[in-house]
Chains A and B, each alone.
Chain A
Amino acid sequence: MAKLATSVSMAAVKKNNNRWKKLKDSKYLLIMIAPAILYFIIFHYLPMYGVTIAFKDYKPFKGYFASSWVGLKHFRTLFKYPYVWRMVRNTFLLSFYSLIWGFPAPIIFALILNEVKNERGKRFVQTVTYLPHFISTVVIVSMVTMFLSPSTGILNTFIKSLGLNKVNFMGSPKYWRTIYISSGIWSGVGWGSILYLAALTNIDPTLYESAIMDGANTFQKIIHINIPCIAPTIITMLILRTGQLMSVGFEKVYLLQGAVNLEVSEVIQTYVYTNGLRNLQYSYGTAIGLLNSIVNISFLFAANYISRSVNETSLW
């Protein structure tokens, strides 16, 4: 009995020694990773903890700890905001339409580019179409605004030369979503195709050989070989995108936003900015942001769950 106890404690000591040894061994590794970990704690985990101000009445001059708890007050305020559903609807529609139009575009592009047998031509097209991905949002929005300008924009010059009436694209909420989505496709279609192209080049060539023997044409090959083979990639990307259905990039919406298009362009993220940061209602803004994140995460889990039960492809 006593012997057993000693052997157990011996094992514990040994294990402890091992851990101690490992700790000493990785002394320099720990020094190396420390700055990065510190960064994540300060700029990611502190803000995550800071989300609790959504349940407080945060006053900058009082500081975090002295500000009082108010429970769900800010959430109730939000649902009294007359435009709350307009804002939710705008966020959802903008990213839903972006998904509908923007998601298939790189896939189609990759499928067609994959058919190009001339390597130099293919590389040229790739080089050119990847470029807009590296252009800043400010520049893209600037270009869009200038090209669509009712007085001097090239598009209106063109429309006029056809003998039609000029259109004030940016001055009307009617065109706003289309502008947002099509400029997004313009800048993202090439870059978005990289993953699909890589998946396409990994397809087993013997599949094509047997397809040709069976007399399949190009379209049949694309439909029966290419698309099924890249389906896992497509589904993974679709899950990730679904997880973002209630979030749109703040930067581009904010830059494209104006008083004339607010009825379609006010989304949750821009509302958080204007009310939370600009009007200094920190707690209120945080509460909306928190609600939004919860919705996003549940979308992601739902999409992952559905995909796993339907066709066994999932993120985790």
Chain B
Amino acid sequence: MSKKRVSFWTVLKVAFLVFMVIITIYPFIYMISVSLSGKLSVMRGEVYLFPKDFSLEAYKFVFRDKRIYTAYKNTIIYVVLGTFTSMLLTTLGAYALSKKNRLFGYKFFNILIVITMFFGGGMIPKFLVVNALGLIDKIWAIILPSSVGAWNLFVMRSFFLNYPEEIEQSGSIDGLNDLGILFYLVLPTSTAILATMSLFHAVGYWNSFMEPYLYLRSESKWPLQVILRSIVLQGTSLDTEYAGGQSEVYEDSLKFATIIVSVVPIVCVYPFLQKYFVKGVMIGSIKG
């Protein structure tokens, strides 16, 4: 009797989890399949799971499109520049904050940062500040205003708090100052956290829509997310779509191909991220 009930529960449990996995993965499989299928099969609604009449036409169109090409390039520049800036500011700040007893004005700085987790000026005052700094339509407008997060700062600080003091002391005996200790001793031995935090920042910049949408005016500077919105959600067509007269590619395939192209880098770094992110969330939640 009891054995039967347990097995019923197991079936229910497994069924639920399988359902969760399918519902998460299926949209991606479907998009890939449609983007790789021939026009007629998609139009007739025959594609459900696997591509039909396999064709790479949609991707050829996407990669030939100037706007997507520029946007891709822009996004990569923003990600690299943004991640570097964020990491530099966050690492330096977090290391200084981890020296609780030595840092002059520690309490003041701490409170100054914590307050920003709960209060903010809001969209318009921030826009006016960015505007007053002359950053509108400049690359730095999408990097500087969100370069440091209080949360990330505290995650890194708690990492540095657990860093073995002996190593740092050996550095100061050898006559290194704090900057030297950080760059010559601490950072080379903390590559795991640096990699994790960099990936988090990189994903954040890759996905960011708000900042570029609010602060960038000229289309030639738009990143992928903004272009993606205008192509998929607002229905502006690709340059290449009409180039060859009668289009051989179905509109939906093109849109899905565009989405896939913008998601692929995330899916590629994801396995590396995944190793650490649970740890990151946990550190943040305990110390935050």
A36 touches B90 (CB 8 A): yes
Residues 99-115 of B at the A interface (beta carbon under 8 Å):
99, 102-105, 109, 112-113
A152 touching B13, Cβ below 8 Å: no
Q: How far is the CB of B168 from chain A (nearest CB, A)?
A: 12
**Docked-complex contact A277 and B127, CB < 8 angstroms:** yes
CB-CB contacts below 8 Å: A100-153 with B: 109, 112-113, 115-116, 121, 124-125, 127-132, 134-139, 141-143, 145-147, 152
Q: With A28-B177, A135-B263 as known contacts, state yes or no: A293 contacts B20, CB within 8 Å.
A: no
B249 to chain A, nearest CB (A): 14
Q: B107-150 CB contact bits vs A (8 Å, 1 = yes)?
A: 00100110010111111111111010100000000001111100
A289-B122 contact, Cβ under 8 Å, with A139-B259, A194-B281:
yes
Interface of B is mostly: helix
Q: Is A6 engaged at the interface, CB distance under 8 Å to the other chain?
A: no
Instruction: Please classify how large the interface on chain A is, using the bins under 10, 10 to 19, 20 to 34, 35 or more.
Output: 35 or more
| A213 interface residue per 8 A CB criterion | no
**A33 contacts chain B at the CB level, 8 A cutoff:** yes
Pick from B42, B121, B127, B255 the residue with the most CB of A within 10 Å.
B121
Q: How far is the CB of B283 from chain A (nearest CB, A)?
A: 11
Chain B residues, CB < 8 A from A152: 42, 45, 252
Contact for A23 among B104, B259, B271, CB less than 8 A: B104
What band does the interface of chain B fall in when counting residues whose beta carbon is under 8 Å from A?
35 or more
**Contact: A251 with B122, CB < 8 Å?**
no
Is B92's CB under 8 angstroms from A255's CB?
Answer: no
Is the CB of B243 closer than 8 A to any CB of chain A?
no
Cα(A120)–Cα(B128), bound, Å: 51
Minimum CB–CB distance for A1 against chain B, Å: 35
The residue in chain B whose Cβ has the minimal distance to the Cβ of A125 is B17
User: In whole angstroms, how far apart are the Cα atoms of A42 and B128 in the complex?
Assistant: 11
Q: A137-B207, A198-B278 are in contact. List 7 more A-B contacts (CB 8 A).
A: A29-B96, A47-B125, A51-B122, A53-B125, A109-B20, A128-B24, A130-B277
In the assembled complex, 15 residue pairs joining A and B whose CB atoms fall closer than 8 Å, in A order, are: A22-B104, A23-B104, A32-B93, A58-B128, A112-B16, A124-B21, A125-B21, A129-B20, A131-B270, A135-B207, A186-B24, A277-B123, A277-B127, A286-B122, A293-B119
Q: Which 5 A-B pairs give the minimum distances between C-beta atoms?
A: A47-B121, A36-B93, A50-B125, A136-B207, A289-B122
> Which residues of B are at the interface with A, using a C-beta cutoff of 8 A?
2, 5-6, 9, 13, 16-17, 20-21, 23-25, 27, 30-31, 42, 45, 48, 88-90, 92-93, 95-97, 99, 102-105, 109, 112-113, 116, 118-129, 131, 133, 144-148, 153, 177-179, 182, 203, 206-210, 214, 225-226, 228-229, 232-233, 252, 255-256, 259, 262-263, 266-267, 270-271, 273-274, 277-278, 281-282, 285
